Amino acid sequence: MNVLAVMISDIHLSRTAPVSRSSEPDWYEAQGRMLSQVQQLLDQHGCPAICAGDLFDRWDASPELINWAIDHVPRPMYTIPGQHDLPLHNYADIHRSAYWTLVMAGVISDLGVGADCTLCEDRRTLLVSFPWGSDVCNVDAGVGDLKTAVIHRYVWKQGASYDNPPPESRYHHLAKSLEGYDVAVFGDNHIGFQVSLGDTRLVNCGCLIPRKSDERKLKPSAWLLMEDGTVERKILDCSQDKWLEQEEVKAVAEPTGMDEFLEGLKILDHDSLDFREAVTRYISDSDNKVSKAAKNILMELVEGK
CATH number, position 208? 3.60.21.10
Q: For the chain, which residues score pLDDT lower than 50?
A: 272, 305
Q: Are residues 178 and 267 in the same domain?
A: no
Look at residue 165 and tell me if it is in a domain. yes
**pLDDT over 90 percentage in the chain:** 73
What is the domain count for the chain? 2
Residue pair 230/251 in contact (Cβ under 8 Å)? The answer is no
Residues 142 and 272 in one domain: no
Q: Of 235, 270, 290, which one is at a domain's C-terminal end?
A: 235
Is residue 91, in this structure, part of any structural domain at all? yes
Tell whether 267 is covered by a domain: yes
> Has residue 245 been placed in a domain?
no
CA–CA gap between residue 259 and residue 304 (Å, rounded) = 21
d(CA 93, CA 134): 14
Q: Is residue 249 situated within a structural domain? A: no
What tens digit of pLDDT does each residue of 73-87 get?
A: 999 999 999 999 999
Same domain assignment for residues 142 and 286:
no
Task: Please check whether residues 137 and 285 belong to one and the same domain.
Answer: no
Same-domain status, 226 and 260: no
pLDDT at 266 (0 to 100): 57
Amino acid in the structure at residue 218: L
**Model confidence pLDDT, tens digit, residues 211-227:** 999 999 999 999 999 99
211 within 8 A of 239, measured Cβ to Cβ: no
Do 121 and 93 share a structural domain? yes
Same domain, 155 and 264: no
State the average pLDDT for the chain: 88
Q: Which pLDDT score, from 0 to 100, does residue 145 have?
A: 81
Q: Does residue 15 sit in the same domain as residue 127?
A: yes
One-character DSSP codes across the chain: --EEEEEE----B-SS--GGGTT-S-HHHHHHHHHHHHHHHHHHHT--EEE-S--BSSTT--HHHHHHHHHHS-SSEEE---GGGSGGG-GGGGGGSHHHHHHHTTSSEE--SS-EEES-SSS-EEEEEE-TTPPP----TTS-SEEEEEEES--BBTTBS-SS--GGGBGGGGTTTTTT-SEEEEES-SS-EEEEETTEEEEE---SS--SGGGTT---EEEEEETTS-EEEEE---TT-----HHHHHHHHS-S-HHHHHHHHTTS-TTTS-HHHHHHHHHH-TTS---HHHHHHHHHHHTT-
The pLDDT, as a whole number, for residue 140 is 75
C-alpha angle 251-253-254 in degrees, rounded to nearest 5: 65
- What predicted TM-score, i.e. pTM, was given to this entire model? 0.83
Q: Is residue 35 in a domain?
A: yes
Are 176 and 293 found together in one domain? Answer: no
- Whose CA is closest to 68, among 41, 38, 105, 94? 105
For residue 76, whether the previous peptide bond is cis, meaning omega lies within 30 degrees of 0, is: yes
Q: Are residues 145 and 263 in the same domain?
A: no
| β-pair partners for 195 | 202
Tens of pLDDT along 167-222? 999 999 999 999 999 999 999 999 999 999 999 999 999 999 999 999 999 999 99
Domain boundary pick from 177, 204, 235: 235
pLDDT in tens, 132-145: 999 999 887 666 68
Instruction: Examine residue 259 and state whether it is found in any structural domain, yes or no.
Output: yes
Q: Are residues 158 and 268 in the same domain?
A: no
- From 204, 235, 266, give the residue that closes a domain: 235
Q: 248 lies in a domain?
A: no
- Helices 292-302 and 275-284 pack at an angle, to 10 degrees, of 160
Same domain, 15 and 118: yes
Backbone φ and ψ for 184, nearest 5 degrees, come out as -130, 120
CA neighbor of 205 nearest in space, from 69, 18, 49, 84: 49
The pLDDT of residue 139 is 84
Query: Which residue segment(s) compose the domain that 189 sits in?
Result: 3-235
